[in-house]
Each structure stands twice: as C-alpha cells, then as structure tokens.
Structure 1
Amino acid sequence: MVSSNASYYNDERIARVFEQQEDFESDKPFYLKLLGDTSRKVLEVGSGTGRLSRALSKAGHEVVGVEKAEPMLARAQELLEQEEVPQDSRPSYEQGDVLGQSPPANDFEFVLIPEYTLGGFLDRADQERVLQYCNLALKPGGTLVIHTYLPNPSYFASLKLGHVGNAVREEVATVPLEDTGEQVAITKTNHYSRVSGNVSSEVFYDVIAPDGTVRRTIKHVASHAFTPAELDVLLRGSGLEPVEWYGDFDSSPLSEESHELIVVAARP
C-alpha cells in the first residue's frame, strides 16, 4: 500500500506530461460560472502545474496556488512562459505544505481543491488537517469547493482487491515529447482496499524513441475514494457547512449514476 504520494509528484518527468496525462478540461466552465464576473480572491490547494489557476487568472481572478512539489511548481512557471501569459493575468504560486503550514492569508473568498486532490491525502487525520487549513484561509461567508470522484461499485468490482483477482491494465494517454521526437505511452493498473478505502495505482511510463526503443518507468500513487457521507462528516467536523452536492460539472444533482462528486461548502 502506498503511504505517501511524494515520490510520484516530485518526479520532474511526471510534471512534464502531467496536464496531457490528466486531459481534464470540463471543470473550467463550472468554476468560472461559480466565481462570476467580479474579480475574486481564490486559493487553489494543490495547484500542480497550474492548469486551472491559469484559466481562472486569465478570467480576471486573483489566484494563489499552493503546491508542495517543486517539479510541479517549476512546470507551472514554465507553462506561463510558454503560453506567454501577461504578467497582470498570472496566478501567483507558493511552495507550501498544507499539513504543516498556515495558509498565505485568511481572507480568500473561494478555496478550491480540484481534480481529486483531496483524495491524495490518504490518512483521515491528514484529510481533517487539509480542511482545517481551508477553513483558516476563508473569510467568513467564504466558499470551499471540493472535486473528487464518486466510488463506482461496478468499476471497483473489476479491480484487484488486495491479493484477490487480476489487475487490469488501463490506457491513460500517449503524450508526444516535441523536443525529443519521443512519445510517452501511459498505462496503469488499480487495486482497491475495502479496509482503507484507498485505490492504489501502478503507473507505467513507456518512453518510445523514434527508432522504436522503449524505456519504462513505473511509479506508484494512491487516492482515497470518498463517499458523500464521509465528506459530509469531515466538512462539518472542520467547521464548514455543505450547501450543494453535484454529480458533474453541468451542475446536475448527485445521483447513483454519477461518476464525479463535487461539494460546495461555506464557512459560516
């Protein structure tokens, strides 16, 4: 079982392909609509390589991204330069550990934990500390948004359960490396623990050279599969009040058929 995801996120090779690997875009219109046309002060927890923070800043919001992994922060700055984002439309980034530090301010109107980030904290005590950090960062009446996935019983039933069953290899993405002419083929296998509620992934990065030579790197990463009831207890225990539950970024209600789990909570 993976006890920490530090090795995964601190690998500069992963940071280089992270945004193409995730290929996640459907959340941007949701967040932009939620923030509205007025400039908002926003904190993104686990900002990674800046995929979401760039979009929100370009729309006129004052965004601070907090990220622990140096390679992710370095890639975020690199992408700002590559995309030639104007200085006055750029987010600011801080290297920080939400488990061991105070937030950069306590007057944020919105705090976002997007794209399954909260699930990367595998221990219940750490999850509580993250939400307490968010509470401290928010001004009274401020809003926290968490995006994770809703556990899908039929999918989980197909996964290797502990040492039972066979791991199924899933294709993730194939990413071209334009500067070298290589391609990175990314696949993974997932294992699920009913005891911890964690999904552990073995991710294969096959770098394919133009001559067909393949170099393989294997990395391990894990995430916690939250239930809505579990998130509700965590939020209320951290002094935050859930106000909306969605099953997708079209703001459809949470249902048994939902794959995404989005909760909007308020600091009283």
Structure 2
Amino acid sequence: MNRADPPADGELSFMGHLVELRARLLRAVAAVLLILVALVPFANRLYGWLAKPLLEHLPAGGAMIATDVASPFFAPLKLAFFAAVFVAMPFILYQAWAFVSPGLYKHERRLALPLLVSAVTLFYVGCAFAYYLVLPAVFTFMTSVAPAGVAVMPDISRFLDFALILFLAFGFCFEVPVALVILVAIGAVTPEQLVRSRPYTIVGAFVIAAILTPPDVISQLLLAVPMCLLYEVGIIAARLVAQRTATDEADPAREN
C-alpha cells in the first residue's frame, strides 16, 4: 500500500523532522504567549467571570478571601494562562496535525481530521456544561449544607484549582465518543462489543462521576448521565467508522 499524496520534496530526514517539530512547537508557544499578553489586562475581570456562579450562591454578606499575600496577583494570572491555552488549543492542535498529516494514508487523514475537530468541540462543550450547569449546582449544594454559624468564604486560589479540575474532568469525560471511535478504528473493539459492555459502562460512569465530582448527588448525575448518553453516540459513530473501514478494505482503490 502506497502513501497517498507524498510530500513533493520526498522523505524528510530525521533532522528535518526535528527542525519542523521545533518550528511547530515555537508557533504553538508563541500563540499562547500572544493570547496571554492580550488577556493579562483583563485577568481580574476574567476571574470575576469565573467566580460568578459561586458569588451568586454565597449567603448574604459572604465573600471570597485570599489567605496568601500573593494570591490576588497570581490567581488571576494563573487563570489568564489557562484561558490562553484554552483559546489557543485549536491552533495548537492544528500545528500537531500539520506535522503528522504528511505521514498518514489518505483514509487515515479522512478519519483523523474529523476526530480532531470533534475532540476539540466536545472538550469545549464539556467545559461549558461544567460552568453553566455543574458549578451553580455544586455551589448551591455546598452553601446549603454549611452548619449554622459557619461563614462560607472560599479562598480564591483553592476555588480556582477546584474549578480548573472540574473543567478538565468534564472536558475529558465528554471525549467518550472520540475514544470509542479510535478504539474501533484500530481494531481494539467492535461496535457489538461496545453494545454488550453497556451495563458495565453505566456502572463505570457513575463510579468515575463519584470520584471526579464533589460529594453531592446532583453533580454526580450531571457527569454520569451525559457520559452514558455520549457512550451511545460513540456506538453510533463507531458503527459508521466500522462500515467505512469495511468498504475501504473491500475497495482498496478508495485508499489511494
């Protein structure tokens, strides 16, 4: 089987690959730094936007505090950095795609590009789901169970770490369909095996949700139920990939 659309200048040398990889990495880092510089003046406003779901659910007179001297400076700056990576992620992944795509078969590129776009989109959707639905539900629960006489005053650094972990948990858990498609594409499992594994997956989703989310039923359900639904979406997508792979194997000319 021959590579489709080989580079015009032939195979790159090992040093050529290293030089290209270095250039791609520098472009990705430069993109993050440029966005970070643009976001730094708005870091405090960005932090206020992130803390809005918490501030709206604090009891009357409640407020956030900074227990470390440097927290008012470093917490917004840390958030600005992660926001820069978040915004630059499509460009970063494009650089990774541009580096590896010349070495892929045509049918591999046909599958990899939609997977890449789907992975980025699902990660963003997971983060948005966590911000608009999960964080308000978690803070409503946490403030409602506080003992009488206890003032709820979260530390800004600890809140930031908590929110980032929650974003990452939901972002990666929403990648279930992409993971299933990859497993089927490499031949590790079949769609029929995924269907038979559905009961174990449901149990596993609730176990993962119990580990990753705070100890309240609402946030656990808000993670476990979407994971189960995304598993079903992944099965449908995996069947389409399996059918496409079978068609390509039956007609090798489609891969050239």
Instruction: Please indicate the TM-score interval, normalised by the length of the shorter structure.
Output: under 0.3
Structure 1 length as normaliser, TM-score? 0.23
Say which structure is richer in strand: 1
Structure 2 length as normaliser, TM-score? 0.24
- For the pair shown, the structure with the greater C-alpha radius of gyration is 2
Higher relative contact order by CA 8 Å / sep ≥ 6: 1 or 2? 2
